[in-house]
Amino acid sequence: MVADTSIAAARPASPPSLIAETWHNLRENRGAMVGLVVVCLVVLVAIFADVLAPHSPIEQFREHVRQPPAWSDGGSWDFPLGTDDVGRDMLSRIIHGARISLFIGVSVMIVSILTGVVLGLIAAFVGGVVDAVLMRFMDLILSVPDLVLSVVIVSIIGPSLSNTIVAVLIVFLPRYVRLVRASALSELSKDYVTAAKVVGVGPVRLMFVTVLPNCLAPLIVQATLGISDALLQAAALGFLGLGAQPPTPEWGAMLASSREFLESAPWIVTFPGLAILLTVVAINVFGDGLRDALDPRLKRG
């Protein structure tokens, strides 16, 4: 029994898992933790929007048109953030807008990752003409400014929430394709890939089971930052009148419909803008912290 105990004590402790190590590194970054808390709060608001919103986001209270926030003269706690130009509750619209904006960002991120992983791995493993054609097509998309290309796409297929998602997806897809391809190419020259080929691992298993897990760290960081980029892009299209159409409570569309009230009723413009700013900054700060946590060598001095 003593010998067994001494042998067990002599065994080296198993290294922490990637998740545990990442979480440990992430907790040391206070800014990233604050960003994570804010992101979680926005997600919870989006999930429970129907419960948290005091009114319907499209219900109009004609007797309370452009009513100021509750803490201002003439305000009422029935409408804590005031009402817009047709009497809709600003708080309810911002709460429901969180659901729509996050839905755009997350859906674009998920579809971009799935498509980008497949195309990037095909380009890296097949090479030759297939790689050249895919990369030149991605370069063609990247050669056009993001907003300009989004406007062109939405102008062709028509302004709507679903078409906004399609346009933003096309604009951001090259990021994931090029990232996966570059990561996969760096892995193909390593010994474990050569060993897998020697033992007869098939190409599909080699791509998705052997190589892909080692490409996930930069992909996770890009996905996190991509949500905020997609949210901003959708807000820009909404501001131009090419995104979600009224009365949909999308933050960018809310800004577009309230520009003329910047001086007479500034709260109608301020609160959607603050919602966009707070959410994007929180996601970006958390994404930067996550990047440093996944690769501590990137930490700034």
229 located within any domain:
yes
Any domain includes 103: yes
Assigned domain for 101 exists: yes
* Angle subtended at Cα 280 by Cα 223 and Cα 107, rounded to the nearest 5 degrees: 40
Question: What CATH number has the domain bearing residue 220?
Answer: 1.10.3720.10
Q: Percent of the chain scored above 70 by pLDDT?
A: 92
Count helices and strands in the chain by DSSP H and E runs = 13, 0
* Helix (H), strand (E) at residue 277: helix 267-294
Residue 4 lies in a domain: no
Residue 37 domain boundaries: 21-52+82-298
Tell me, yes or no, whether 212 lies in a domain: yes
Please indicate, yes or no, if residue 62 is contained in any of the structural domains: no
Per-residue model confidence as pLDDT tens digits over 153-197: 998 998 888 898 999 999 999 999 999 999 999 988 888 888 988
pLDDT in tens, 204-243: 898 888 898 888 888 888 888 888 889 889 888 888 888 8
Q: Is the pTM of this model over 0.75?
A: yes
Contact 281, 271 (CB under 8 A): no
Q: Quote the number of domains for the chain.
A: 1
Q: Give every residue of the chain whose pLDDT is below 70, as ranges.
A: 1-18, 295-301
Task: Confirm whether 104 is domain-assigned.
Answer: yes
Q: Is residue 195 part of a domain?
A: yes
